[in-house]
Amino acid sequence: MKKIIIIILFLFSIQITHAQFNTISWQTEELTIDGASFDWGTSFRYYDSKTRIRYNMSNDSNFIYFCFQPVDDFVKSQILRAGIQIEFSHKIKPKTTAIIEYPFPLEKDNKKMSNNSNTTFEAFFQSFQLFNNNFISEGLYYTNGSPQLESKNGICVKFDKETNGLLCYEIRIPIKELYGENYILSTIAEKDLTVKLKVNSLTVKNKGQGPSHADMYVNHEMRSANRNTQNGRKSHQSSMYQAGNSFTINGKTLKHKLKLATKPE
């Protein structure tokens, strides 16, 4: 009998933990969206092994906050070269799917971007920031088109490099942009908010010229993948397609269904 009670209590505790884990954190103070993760605490709550991205989400009564970090150089390079699209969708009527695209794919013929073999990653990233000062949004209630990274309606997007070398992406979205002006937090929190982050596919061409510093991350990963395949270990080769003097790395998608928090934990 005691064993049965212990098992029931154990299963009940797992259900409670699972529910808490899938309810995003309540944000007690409004976050500064500056591309730095230090104000999110010492660790990220979630990690996606497919995209190799760790991330946090929180909300208060007015805003949803989202922060993520790619944890290795290969994913950093793919994000910078190919771009990202983030989707927020829910099933509260009227159902909506909102899309925010930022950063954009790097144009191959964009002469403004300093991207030659002598370019350091830091210089490349500075150029990247200089020419990526807008995001594209659609499906939102009030802010669609190509607004500035900090829009007058309260959306704020920031992507920056931290002192430890990791990239940090932060976004703040007014809840009314996803649910409309007259939302009731306790009602919309009853159903999942689905977050889908797509890292776009990346094609790298080699015309016999030396690779740019930004491409070295990708080329290094390609060499590592080939070595791992020869050694019989699992690698990223299955997500790469080679054709002549170029190869394409498939896009990756992070998807998570979460519920908004309605009060402090």
pLDDT in tens, 215-227: 544 554 444 444 4
Residue 116 lies in a domain: yes
What is the bridge-based pairing of β-strands 53-59 and 25-26? parallel
Q: What is the mean pLDDT of residues 223-252?
A: 56
Between 255 and 247, the more confident residue is 255
pLDDT at residue 242 in the model? 56
Average pLDDT over residues 31-51: 89
Domain encompassing residue 41: 30-201+251-258
The answer to whether residue 226 sits within a structural domain is: no
Neighbours of 75 (CB within 10 A): 19
Q: What is the pLDDT of residues 64-113, one digit of tens each?
A: 999 999 988 888 888 888 999 999 999 999 998 999 999 888 755 454 55
- Mean residue pLDDT across the chain: 78
Question: What is the C-alpha to C-alpha distance for residues 261 and 62, in angstroms, rounded to an integer?
Answer: 11
Does the residue 98 lie in any domain? yes
- Percent of the chain exceeding pLDDT 70 equals 71
**Residue 15 belongs to some domain of the structure:** no
Within-domain flag for 85: yes
Residue 8 lies in a domain: no
Beta pairing, strands 96-101 & 136-138: antiparallel
Cβ–Cβ < 8 Å for 103, 79: yes
Query: Per-residue pLDDT averaged across 47-67, rounded?
Result: 94
Which H, E and C letters describe the chain, residue by residue? CHHHHHHHHHHHHHHHHHHHHCECEECCCCCCCCCCCHHHCCCCCEEECCCCEEEEEEECCCEEEEEEEECCHHHHHHHHHHCEEEEEEECCCCCEEEEEECCCCCCCCCCCCCCCCCCCHHHHHHHHHHCCCECEEECCCCCCECCECECCCCCEEEEEECCCCCEEEEEEEEHHHHHCCCCCHHHHCCCCEEEEEEECCEEEECCCCCCCHHHHHHHHHHHHHHHHHHCCCCCCHHHEEEECCEEEECCEEEEEEEECCCCCC
Predicted confidence at residue 107, as pLDDT, reads: 56
Sheet holding 240-243, edge to edge: 202-205, 246-249, 240-243
Per the structure, the count of domains in the chain is: 1
From 177, 201, 175, select the one nearest 186 (Cα to Cα): 175
Mean pLDDT of 231-256: 65
Locus of tokens 């309606």: 153
Q: What is the mean pLDDT of residues 25-34?
A: 90
Asked if residue 211 is part of any domain, the answer here is no
Q: How many CB atoms lie within 10 A of CB 21?
A: 11
Maximum separation of any 2 CA atoms in the chain, in Å: 74
pLDDT tens digits, one per residue of 152-190: 779 999 999 888 888 999 999 999 999 999 999 999 999
pLDDT at 67: 95
The pTM score is 0.78
Weakest mean pLDDT among 48-52, 114-118, 141-145: 114-118
pLDDT at 234: 47
Quick check: is 136 in a domain? yes
Provide, rounded to the nearest whole percent, the portion of the chain with pLDDT above 90: 44
pLDDT band at 262 (very low <50, low <70, confident <90, very high): very high
Q: Are 251 and 201 in contact, with CB atoms under 8 Å apart? A: yes
Angle at 223 (CA atoms; ends 221, 225), nearest 5 degrees: 70
